[in-house]
Amino acid sequence: MMRGLALLMALAMLAGTQIARAEVTASTPENDFKAFRDFFTNKFPKVPLNDFVNGPYSMDEGLRKQWIAKEDFPPYDFALDHGKELFEKPFKNGKTFADCFPNKGIGIRQNYPYFDDKTNEVITLELAVNQCLEKNGEKPYNYMKDDMAAVTAYMAFTSRGKPFDIKIPKDNPKAVEAYEKGKQYFYQRRGQLNFSCASCHIQAPGERIRAEVLAPALGILNAMPIYRSEWGGMGTISRRFTSCNSQVRGVPLEPQAPEYRNLEYYLSYMANGLPVSGPGSRP
């Protein structure tokens, strides 16, 4: 464990990454996107672009073989069944989730999160699910797991293969600001270990920390929500963000805090064009 931490600490001490250097010249979402994509395709030239959405399974051949075998009877199947049941079950007022979403909620995962011009905030799929529940007089779900993970797993499954299509309205400076804040959070160091998200997922993908193979940042949200063996169950993007903060011995924010939603906005934009692969499973 200490050897893995020492490796990450050494990588985190580097003066900067190719991405950071590229962004110095002209930092716009479009230029950031190109630099981000080029960094990973140059660093891992043998990994097919769309395969990055498979996280550690695109980095480690042994894990990949285990994953392929496990997909015959995926551990998230129970969540899909439960999520479909919840999605179609009428609320007390007779409406369902289908009444809250475009295309009745089917095949739309790739469009989340989006920036709401009316409220000037990032709306994630998890937030939209709870907004739907509250609008219809229902109790909101726990953002981390259980019913929320099940419903978003089902919605992701109906979008499998569809490319992420996240928009940053150029005519709305608040949207650009949310994107920039998400990028800042991604590279900002925090916690007693003084790590940023980039310390693991830009500088060390494919490396091991304890028994875990670190996933590349490119496409890291495409498989969400996921079943993790260490959790013994399903978890949402909110659960992943808060657990990462805890792992670097920092203080996690509240699930769906603006900082987390902005971070999701940034990472999802970086995944544009890559397919939805959720729900997924991880060690």
Residues belonging to the active site: 244
Angle at 197 between CA 268 and CA 224, to 5 degrees: 40
List the binding residues for heme c. 100, 132, 197, 200-201, 244
144-175 in b/e burial notation, b at 16+ Cβ within 10 A? Answer: bbbbbbbbbbbbbbbbeeeebebebeeeeeeb
Phi, psi (deg, nearest 5) at residue 227: -95, 125
- Cα–Cα distances in angstroms (integers) from residue 40 to residues 29, 33, 37, 164, 216, in the given order: 17, 11, 6, 17, 8
Q: Under a CB-based contact definition with an 8 Å cutoff, are residues 228 and 280 in contact?
A: no
Q: Tally DSSP H helices, then E strands, for the chain.
A: 11, 7
List the binding residues. 100, 132, 197, 200-201, 240, 244
In this structure, the dihedral spanned by the alpha carbons of residues 6, 12, 14 and 16, taken in order and rounded to 10 degrees, is 160
List the binding residues for substrate. 240
For 229, other C-beta atoms within 10 Å of its C-beta total: 11
Token code pair at residue 22: 């590229």
Name the β-bridge partners of 115.
122
